[in-house]
Amino acid sequence: MSNSDSIRPTNFVRDIIQKDVNDNVHGGKVITRFPPEPNGYLHVGHAKSICLNFGLAEEFGGQCNLRFDDTNPGKEEQEFVDSIKEDVQWLGFQWSGEVRYASDYFDTFYAWAIHLIKNGKAYVCDLSPEQASEYRGWATQPGKDSPFRDRSVEENLDLFERMKNGELDEGACVLRAKVDMTSPNMNMRDPILYRIRKESHHQTGGKWCIYPSYDFAHGQEDAIEEITHSICTLEFQDHRPLYDWFLDNLPVPSRPHQYEFGRLNLSYTITSKRKLKQLVDEKVVAGWDDPRMPTVHGMRRRGFTARGIRNFCDGLPVAKSGGVVDVAQFEAAVRDDLNENAPRAMCVLDPVKVVISNMEEGAVEQMTAPAHPQREMGTHTMPFTREIYIDRADFSEDSSLSRKKFKRLVLGEWVRLRSAYVIKADEVIRDASGELQEIRASLVPGTVGINPPEGIKPRGVIHWVSATEGKQATIRLYDRLFLNEAPDATDEGFLKYVNPESLKVLEGCWIEPGLIDAQPEQSFQFEREGYFVADRFDHSAEHPTFNKTIGLRDTWASKTN
RNA sequence: UGGGGUGUCGCCAAGCGGCAAGGCAACGGGUUUUGAUCCCGUCAUUCGCAGGUUCGAGUCCUGCCACCCCAGCCA
């Protein structure tokens, strides 16, 4: 196992749960939930929340529900419901029982609203949004009671029913809780419980034309599902008193508690559903599953493995401070998993032909190499022929290059072809324009798996693919989508910092022939190049297509610059 | 500004009055048929700032400063 796998630092949420379990609070049960709104695709920040909620439940032998917080039909779609379910499962988690929806509980919420009205704790307010904002007051300035605050229970009941029956227009009025217009916490200044929305809902269709607000829904959903620990992000801290207020004033079946942790921010990355949507809508990327997107769908297509993502999330401390995690830390977790689990293969991205003059034309010699240098993963076989390709960057005519600086093929010198022979570059052939066209080389016999004789010192090891037995492939090179480490934080707007070179499509790359049998989503390490994945949708034996997930760690590049 | 939070290495953080964990990054060195992996080593006399309490303070007290969140009929 990778070392990040075993490191799961404790955190304040786990400590609270541990204590509750020890003290037999909630009968020792642990029930958590992951409550996305289906208004977009899940991203890496949600992955942290998923790992936390599902992970904690798993750790304490509890359960975790998947519940869609679908209280705002205008922004939500079935497409997002489907993608979210797929993502959670892909990450390797299974929710407890059926998928749940806030909309499953709309009847109960409606009854509870009436309960509040009957207790004189809610009223229908006719103030326009602008007026309501005015009445709400400001930080230093307490709010004023709405003129509708003292309507009779009967009138409120009647009005609320008419709201439900669609007799009133959108925006005409709302149902508000009667809390405290002078509270320093703005959320307590008579928050909205229900608003009129004459829109079809992806789950309930046309059944409702009033929808509960987040505040009037979330805690009650938790209570209905008997959630013990309701874990959410920091921006909801101010809502906790309201969360508790509803639970205290409603006949709820259980008493959950809310705990908040810091949202994940990644450098060079945007994690705002609105902005991610903008990237899709403005066609900056090809879609929600573009491999450059930090969405779970995007990361999956990019070749970031579920295990790598989980290892990363599990290694993240859960704290109340909100910092920016270096994207390199994420990349390291993914690389770690891929290094451990991806079989090795060879691919030449920028081919230049090498003709081995002392090899017979038409001869094919099968070279066998382990699929992994350390782990037992079987072998792969690569045909070696008179004509092969190596990468253009792996050859130089400049023999003054020091051995330390250039550990590749130099004219007149030797290099090891990985898992095959040591060869010597004898001569170069150029085309009319002077461009290097072909290298003539000779192999040192008997050097497969055996060190060359005294006096022959290969400068290094390079990768290769047979020119006659290899296959052509399309390779898509991905790089960071943004050039600014905080694309979100700049005044000019994040679109200004889109990396124009975040995608390069290479046609005519050469892969070892066995690679055409790769299954979509199968990851490989192309030796000396990086980790690549067979594209989930576009790869086939006829048109091999690989996405670069991430490069190898390269300590050498930084030293020479 | 009122309220809610947060300030410990370049980044993320542990720390709960008794010698400042760990990960990422960086930098040295070793092994290596991947400039990868792996291994070994280096990397905070100091915890936002200033006072105070204490034998002893990152931890307790007081004051200040900085940053984030709320002020949607979004979640």
CA of A553 to C1' of B36 (A): 7
Provide the pLDDT for residue A7: 45
CA A497 to chain centroid, in Å, comes to 20
Nucleotide nearest to A140 (CA to C1'): B2
Q: Which of A263, A275, A277, A476 is catalytic?
A: A263
Q: Which of A100, A176, A273, A301 is catalytic?
A: A273
H, E, C per residue of A435-490: CEEEEEEEEECCCCCCCCCCCCCCCCEECCEECCCCEEEEEEEECCCECCCCCCCC
What digits encode the pLDDT tens for the residues A318-343?
999 888 999 999 999 999 999 999 99
What digits encode the pLDDT tens for the residues A483-523?
999 998 776 789 999 999 999 999 999 999 999 999 999 99
What digits encode the pLDDT tens for the residues A230-265?
999 999 999 999 999 999 999 999 999 999 999 999
Report how far apart, in Å, the C-alpha atoms of A272 and of each of A45, A184, A278, A485, A488 are: 9, 28, 10, 15, 9
Sorting pLDDT into bands at 50, 70 and 90, what band is A457?
Answer: very high
Query: Does position A529 have pLDDT exceeding 50, yes or no?
Result: yes
Provide the pLDDT for residue A384: 98
Instruction: Specify whether domain A471-560 bears CATH 2.40.240.10.
Output: yes
Mean pLDDT for the stretch of residues A147-169: 98
Residues 27-56 of chain A sitting with CB below 7 angstroms of strand B: 37
Provide the pLDDT for residue A516: 96
H, E, C per residue of A231-249: EEEHHHHHHHHHHHHHHHH
Q: What is the CATH number of domain A5-102+216-331?
A: 3.40.50.620
pTM value is 0.95
What digits encode the pLDDT tens for the residues A189-216?
999 999 999 999 999 999 999 999 999 9
User: Is the CB of A7 less than 7 A from some atom of nucleic acid strand B?
Assistant: yes
User: Is the CB of A178 less than 7 A from some atom of nucleic acid strand B?
Assistant: no
Nucleotide nearest to A260 (CA to C1'): B5
What digits encode the pLDDT tens for the residues A90-119?
999 999 999 999 999 999 999 999 999 999
Query: Does position A6 have pLDDT exceeding 50, yes or no?
Result: no
Closest of A525, A553, A58, A32 to residue A314, by C-alpha: A58
Query: Does position A418 have pLDDT exceeding 80, yes or no?
Result: yes
Please name the residue whose C-alpha is nearest to the C1' of nucleotide B13. A317
Are A295 and A302 in contact by the 8 Å Cβ rule? The answer is no
User: Is the CB of A233 less than 7 A from some atom of nucleic acid strand B?
Assistant: no
CA of A514 to C1' of B53 (A): 74
Provide the pLDDT for residue A156: 98
- The CATH superfamily label for domain A106-214 reads Glutamyl-tRNA Synthetase; Domain 3 (3.90.800.10)
Provide the pLDDT for residue A492: 73
Per-domain residue ranges of chain A: 5-102+216-331, 106-214, 352-466, 471-560
CA of A270 to C1' of B50 (A): 39
Are A425 and A410 in contact by the 8 Å Cβ rule? The answer is yes
| Distance from C-alpha of A185 to C-alpha of A53, rounded to nearest angstrom | 28
| Distance from C-alpha of A460 to C-alpha of A401, rounded to nearest angstrom | 13
Q: Which fold has domain A352-466?
A: Ribosomal Protein L25; Chain P (2.40.240)
- Mean of the per-residue pLDDT values of chain A: 95
CA of A14 to C1' of B18 (A): 27
What digits encode the pLDDT tens for the residues A118-132?
999 999 999 999 999
- Strand B nucleotides within 7 Å of a protein CB: 1-8, 10-16, 21-28, 33-39, 68-75
CA of A188 to C1' of B64 (A): 30
Provide the pLDDT for residue A429: 97
H, E, C per residue of A352-418: EEEEECCCCCCCEEEEEEECCCCCCCCEEEEEEECEEEEEHHHEECCCCCCCCCCCCEEECCEEEEC
Mean pLDDT for the stretch of residues A532-551: 98
CA A271 to chain centroid, in Å, comes to 10
What digits encode the pLDDT tens for the residues A43-66?
999 999 999 999 999 999 999 999
Provide the pLDDT for residue A322: 82
Please name the residue whose C-alpha is nearest to the C1' of nucleotide B37. A339
Nucleotide nearest to A136 (CA to C1'): B71
Query: Does position A536 have pLDDT exceeding 80, yes or no?
Result: yes
Provide the pLDDT for residue A285: 97
Q: What ipTM, to 2 d.p.?
A: 0.95
Residues 299-328 of chain A sitting with CB below 7 angstroms of strand B: 315-326, 328
What digits encode the pLDDT tens for the residues A7-56?
456 889 999 999 999 999 999 999 999 999 999 999 999 999 999 999 99
Report how far apart, in Å, the C-alpha atoms of A465 and of each of A296, A347, A358, A367 are: 33, 7, 18, 11
Residue A263 annotated among the catalytic residues of the structure: yes
What digits encode the pLDDT tens for the residues A303-321?
999 999 999 999 998 999 8
| A352-466 shares its CATH topology with A471-560 | yes
